[in-house]
Structure 1
């Protein structure tokens, strides 16, 4: 979602993470002895699910045991996330989630689980939020889009995959920085939102690079993306922050996808899981599969990932509170 270099902790390496308890250190050699489950708190077919299904068979090959995907959608990801937070810390139940992990902490007055019961393991990938618009709008550039929004306050409709979703929050941040008023139109998932955007029922949407497939045919226009720097998978698409449009100089938005596990998991087993998952994520075949899914493979150490998540909380908190964003 952001430039990860600011989170790089050059003195940290995987080997620097301490292993405690000789019994557990020896016990990890036989892990796993039964199937491992990756819980995804989103519906099947979504981007997080696609990422999980790209990783799971390669983990299964490495471990010699089945790695199952268990979709537990609902409650704005709180159902699946809460399930893992209460799972035994034995390494057999992992969580693969995305922005909902951050958003729920900022939007829900009381979480139905203890966030401290979960420990960040590693991220897998991220993806810039790309601004797509309907070609029925009389604009072709980002500057024209913002000017149109200022001339027509409250008339531009932004679709999203739901209240409190990352596309919703990206749209609200964009509107606030650009100084325009928008109408938010929440959908139950990206699929219906894209369908209506292509059909002209809504005007704009922040989505992943996968939706670029609609641009060459003229069914959608693309105005910019939320990475700080150019993205080789988005040739000719300028970062919104470098568009020259006043107010948007610091705009950055996108999605991330990462693994968590119960905090009660012994340190030696946490490190074993991190090492094995990272090895799979570093495989060229895995990285190719993630790229095809529309995300950029991105790896962090355990400490870097934890620091990044804290930065996300600090960064999005003012946006969510200032724009009075609420979850479904």
Structure 2
């Protein structure tokens, strides 16, 4: 198994891998042998109806087919997703309770306050989705390029107002990364989600905010992108320039993946990893994601673990520079 921690696998390549994995399907059905035929519960740490929940439920049927067991989605929301992730960390390590763990509860909230888990509390199954973010401004903003915005911020320290969906959220971390890379100061305006951030932008309270790209495309009549925070242009938005093309090496997606309590048996982790891969590469899942404009992605367990470790360390550094680490 490759443990280099490479980037998300393309869906076309993934489909090829999934076809090859078909030979393993009989082995994965062993997960539901007569002695162990129980439900597999996936804890989603947010309320029903959001992107993480919809993605998980879209994987549910195909994972059940692969595992030969019922797959149940359980929503345990609260405290920025940390309550649900903690629930999974405390579960018996038998592969029966796992979590769809997003980037925030794994790699930022763990730095902001003391929690009953860390990134070392889990075995990693797969990355399931990864949505790039973008620096968004009002469609009529004076800033036409990222350099325009950076130049203004350098000439007017602290006068660039950045609407932040939540302290320690990935949009907040992305803003910290931008400020660090560009050597600028911004004033952070906490708001309660993407909707209020958009409102702040439209009424002139804020100069920018950082949503995921699907939110950007859905509101293209009101906002526009100065830079996609990804290492390459998006196939779905090929005309949108990246921050990297403008001299700022920023690749900051909103992602999530399946994790299991530390110590889960290797054979069950393997079965869950195969089930995840087959679900994500399936036609019904891909069609559902396209309908929702929700990007999907895939990494196997080893790649995902290496990726999470890098994200954890990067986010720690950014939050430390901002003076936000828990004592």
Q: Give TM-score, length-normalised by structure 1.
A: 0.83
1:298-326 alpha-carbon deviations (Å, 9 max, x no partner): 22221111111111123222211112235
Q: Name structure 2 gaps, 5 residues minimum.
A: 10-16, 21-26
Q: Distance in 2 between matches of 1:89 and 1:313?
A: 23
Cα distance in structure 1, aligned partners of 2:234 and 2:307 = 20
Question: Could you tell me whether the CA contact under 8 Å between 2:62 and 2:278 is conserved in 1?
Answer: no
How far apart are 1:130 and its partner, in Å?
0.9
Aligned to 2:13: none
Whether contact under 8 Å (1:41, 1:77) holds in the other structure is yes
2:231 to 228, 231, 240: 228
Superimposed CA distance per residue, residues 208-243 of structure 1 (whole angstroms, 9 cap, x where no aligned partner): 1112235542x1121111111111112211110111
Match status 1:153 vs 2:157: yes
| Cα separation, 2, equivalents of 1:62 and 1:133 | 44
CA–CA distance in structure 1, aligned partners of residues 238 and 119 of structure 2 = 39
Whole-angstrom distance in 2 between the partners of 1:160 and 1:43? 21
Is the Cα–Cα contact under 8 Å of residues 146 and 178 in structure 1 kept in the other structure?
yes
Partner of 2:182: 178
Uncovered stretches (5+) of structure 1, i.e. residues with no partner: 16-23
Q: 1:40 to 1:291 in 2, by over 3 A?
A: same
Provide the secondary structure at the position in 1 that maps to 2:58: helix
Give distance in 1, aligned partners of 2:70 and 2:194.
30
Residue pair 1:160, 1:168 contacting (<8 A) in 2 also:
yes
Structure 1 CA distance, aligned partners of 2:29 and 2:64? 21
Does the 8 Å contact 2:29/2:67 carry over to 1?
Answer: no
Q: CA RMSD in A?
A: 3.0
TM-score by length of 2: 0.83
Change (3 A) 1:95 1:164: same
Q: How does 1:298-317 map to 2 (within 5 A)?
A: 298-317=297-316
8 Å Cα contact 1:78-1:112 kept in structure 2: no
How has the CA–CA distance of structure 1 residues 63 and 240 changed in structure 2, closer, same or farther, with 3 Å as cutoff?
same
* Count of residue pairs the alignment pairs up: 308
Indicate the larger mover: 53-62 or 131-140: 53-62
Confirm whether residue 258 of structure 1 aligns to residue 242 of structure 2.
Answer: no
The residue matched to 2:226 in structure 1 has which SS?
A: strand
